[in-house]
Amino acid sequence: MNIEDLISKIVEDKEEKGDYDSCASEMNVELPQLFNLVSIRIAENFMSGQLSYTDADFAMNGVWPVMLDYIMKNDIPLVEPCYAIYEAFDQGEYDHKDGSDPVEKYTKPLLIEVLANA
C-alpha cells in the first residue's frame, strides 16, 4: 500500500491500524516518518485542490488518533510536522469570531509555513 492508497482509505473511513503498518513496511520507513509523510501529502493535496478542506480535515482527524496511540505506547513526543498539520486543519474547523473564513485566514497560511519547513 502506498501513501495515496492509505489517504484514500482514510478519506473513505475504511482504514485500519494494519494499513499504516503495511504502508510503512512497503515504504521501508518507521511509523513516525509515515505519519509525517502522510500528513504532508494530505496538506499538499489540499493546497493543490486535489482534496477538499472537508476531506483533508477528515483525513487528518483519522491520522491523529493512530499517531497518538503510537506515541503514547512508545513514550515519544508528538510527531512533527504531523502535529502542526493537524493543528492547521483544526484552526479551520471553527468560527474565530472575526468575520473571516477560518480556512483561508488560518489553515492555509499555517500550511504554507509548515510545508515550507517540512
Task: Work out the mean pLDDT of the chain and round it to a whole number.
Answer: 96
pTM, entire model: 0.96
Confidence of residue 16 (pLDDT cuts 50, 70, 90): confident
For the cut 80, the answer to whether the pLDDT of residue 44 exceeds it is yes
Residue 53, CA distances (Å) to 19, 72, 88, 98, 100 in order? 23, 28, 11, 20, 16
pLDDT, average across residues 91-104: 95
For the cut 90, the answer to whether the pLDDT of residue 30 exceeds it is yes
pLDDT, average across residues 69-98: 96
Q: Could you tell me if 80 and 33 are in contact, meaning their C-beta atoms sit under 8 angstroms apart?
A: no
Can you tell me the distance from the alpha carbon of 72 to that of 67, in angstroms, rounded to the nearest whole number? 9
Can you tell me the distance from the alpha carbon of 30 to that of 94, in angstroms, rounded to the nearest whole number? 33
pLDDT, average across residues 63-83: 96
Confidence of residue 55 (pLDDT cuts 50, 70, 90): very high
